[in-house]
Amino acid sequence: MGILKCLGLPRHQVFTARKYLNVSSFSCLHTAQNSSVEARSQDEDVVIALGSNVGNRVHNFKEALKMMKKSGIQVTRHACLYETAPAYITDQPCFINSAVRAVTKLGPHELLAALKRIEKDLGRTDGIRYGPRPIDLDILFYGKYKVRSDILNIPHERIWERPFVIAPLMDLLGSAIDNDTVASWHAFSSHSGGLYELWEKLGGESLIGQEGICRVMPVANGLLDWSLRTSVMGILNLTPDSFSDGGNFQSVESAVSQVRLMISEGADIIDIGAQSTRPKASRISVEEELSRLIPVLEAVKSMPEVEGKLISVDTFYSDVASEAVSRGAHLINDVSAGQLDPNMFKVIADLDVPYVAMHMRGDPCTMQSSENLKYDDVCKEVSSELYSRVRQAELSGIPAWRIIIDPGIGFSKKTEDNLDILTGLPAIRAEIAKSSFAISRAPILIGPSRKRFLGDICSRPSAVERDPATIASITAGVLAGANIVRVHNVKDNCDAVKLCDAILKHKHSAMKSRQ
């Protein structure tokens, strides 16, 4: 049970996990293809691995998931996305790999037949084993059953030797083993510590970024490996009433000039917002927000300097998100995590762009009410509430590999809450990991820039005087594990981020040399 202890489980959970792994039972099906076992009346929890290295790989995944839904396979969880070097036959393009959990009433051979039809419809033909393919769909687990027949073996016979399969499989689990079906999957591994121990023996998280396997996010027709360095998101407010720079960039010319400056200072992402979300801000209509946003967005997209940069739009309206993406925005930043527009998740699922889900209680008008500021354990409660929103997003069709999480510094938080979050990002990840390793491994965005709590601590009533405090808070956040920082002052915060990245890289190298 050493692996469970390494995951940071409390002692009582380690004993619970041992109980599951020791008493878990499963059934063996030695069956012919047309066996009566196929007639099923209840849903079975299944795990399906996905791979692709031909054509538009991410699009192939999207189409496969749509076809699975039409075939009676309802996806409930997504793993992260990995780009991996080819195995066995190395003279071929890199793969992307992932996995999903789903429920289905299809029997194991019916499920196999459905997946084979999807592969064929997406252009897969009989070719070299382990060779190039537009899509590869393998059944890793089927309920609590082991299946053995002439054409199907579950668990998949080579699952245990493949890091590019085990990595996404682990994403579909949590550090808490919460039911007998999941316990049986651990038991199939034949390790006393279950799949956790198997993953560690293969190399575990130390493999990611090494050995030809990288965790990535599809964005702007490319793949972003957010572990390589911290990304800096420059803020462009088009509003007359934002707390820091309201009214400064309302004309297209002034907005373009500010974007040019932020890019020259090192911004990786430009986040354009046309609706104020400061405390007590009045909500404007979709039409007014679009009238502010679209002229600037179109002008920014036409700038030569934005080549290779990402454009984010800060909105909680699904109609604004849809229009922004149609005009070239690469990601959507939603301070409400879908709470202020019931159509947001469905729209984002169809748009195929990364989605920032931020924690906030209430709305900008009510978020700082006494009721919304009550926490017993802010990191634990933010984790739980944010994961609940992300879970709904995932069930609505937004895969985990397109989700960025933001704990919402300054939104329905007191000063001490903000400080707890800045230093508690590892605790937030660990809490989410109890339910989903995939979501716990999503990029974390933080946005403390010039916020009031910094002014309260440093006695700086004017927002523009809070840049030194912002740099300090960004430094604390990056050293605690933030992957994206949202700032007004790009130049100085870029320097802070570069130093933090160098410190973290040096620390990692030193630890590796001691092993």
Q: Which residues contact 314 (CB under 8 A, 6 or more apart)?
A: 271, 272, 273, 274, 275, 277, 333, 334, 335
CA-to-CA separations, 184 to 16, 50, 234, in angstroms, rounded = 14, 22, 47
Position 245 scores a pLDDT of 58
Is this structure's pTM higher than 0.75? yes
Report the pLDDT averaged over residues 235-251.
74
Over residues 160-211, the pLDDT tens digits come to 988 999 999 999 999 888 899 999 999 999 888 999 999 999 999 989 987 7
Is 129's pLDDT higher than 90? Answer: no
Q: Which of 34-48, 167-181, 460-474 has the highest mean pLDDT?
A: 460-474
pLDDT band for position 38 (50/70/90)? Answer: low
Is 12's pLDDT higher than 60? Answer: no
Calculate the average pLDDT of the chain.
Answer: 90
Q: How far apart are CA 446 and CA 408, in angstroms?
A: 7
pLDDT band for position 7 (50/70/90)? Answer: very low
Report the pLDDT averaged over residues 98-105.
98
- The DSSP-derived string for 430-496 is HHHHTT-HHHHTS-BEE--TT-HHHHHHHT--SGGG-HHHHHHHHHHHHHTT-SEEEES-HHHHHHH
Assigned architecture for domain 227-513: Alpha-Beta Barrel (3.20)
Residues 469, 457 contacting (CB under 8 angstroms): yes
Q: How far apart are CA 100 and CA 48, in angstroms?
A: 5
Position 457 scores a pLDDT of 98
Q: How far apart are CA 417 and CA 426, in angstroms?
A: 15
Position 34 scores a pLDDT of 47
Tokens, residue 416? 């001490």
Least confident interval from 30-34, 103-107, 118-122, 489-493: 30-34
pLDDT band for position 511 (50/70/90)? Answer: confident
CATH superfamily of 44-215: 7,8-Dihydro-6-hydroxymethylpterin-pyrophosphokinase HPPK (3.30.70.560)
pLDDT band for position 104 (50/70/90)? Answer: very high
Is 141's pLDDT higher than 90? Answer: yes
Least Cα distance to 240 among 204, 192, 275, 290 occurs for: 275
The three-state secondary structure class of 267 is coil
The catalytically annotated residue of 124, 402, 434, 486 is: 486
The catalytically annotated residue of 101, 451, 452, 466 is: 451
**Percent of the chain, pLDDT > 70?**
90
Position 5 scores a pLDDT of 33
Q: Exposed, middle or buried: residue 278 (CB in 10 Å: 0-12, 13-18, 19+)?
A: middle
For 245-393, list the strands marked E by DSSP: 269-273, 310-314, 331-334, 355-358
Position 27 scores a pLDDT of 62
Q: How far apart are CA 224 and CA 330, in angstroms?
A: 12
Q: DSSP character for 364?
A: T
Question: Taking each helix axis from N to C terminus, what angle separates 180-188 and 194-202, rounded to the nearest 10 degrees?
Answer: 40
Q: How far apart are CA 122 and CA 251, in angstroms?
A: 47
Is 30's pLDDT higher than 90? Answer: no
Least Cα distance to 446 among 262, 230, 300 occurs for: 230
Least confident interval from 37-46, 118-127, 150-159: 37-46
Q: DSSP character for 210?
A: B
Over residues 318-359, the pLDDT tens digits come to 999 999 999 999 999 999 999 999 999 999 999 999 999 999
Position 2 scores a pLDDT of 34
Is 20's pLDDT higher than 90? Answer: no
Position 26 scores a pLDDT of 56
pLDDT band for position 40 (50/70/90)? Answer: low
Tokens, residue 17? 């996990």
Q: How far apart are CA 460 and CA 31, in angstroms?
A: 73
What is the bridge-based pairing of β-strands 231-237 and 73-78?
A: unpaired
More confident residue, 28 or 238: 238
Enumerate the domain spans of the chain: 44-215, 227-513
Is 35's pLDDT higher than 90? Answer: no
Position 3 scores a pLDDT of 31
CA-to-CA separations, 337 to 218, 267, 362, 368, 503, in angstroms, rounded = 20, 24, 11, 17, 32
Position 325 scores a pLDDT of 98
Tokens, residue 223? 């793949």
Is 9's pLDDT higher than 90? Answer: no
Query: Which uninterrupted H or E stretch holds 224?
Result: strand 222-224
Catalytic: 451?
A: yes
Is 229's pLDDT higher than 50? Answer: yes
Cα end-to-end distance, the chain, whole Å:
22
Half-sphere exposure of 10 (CA within 13 A, CB side): 4
Least Cα distance to 437 among 135, 14, 99, 22 occurs for: 99
Q: DSSP character for 149?
A: -
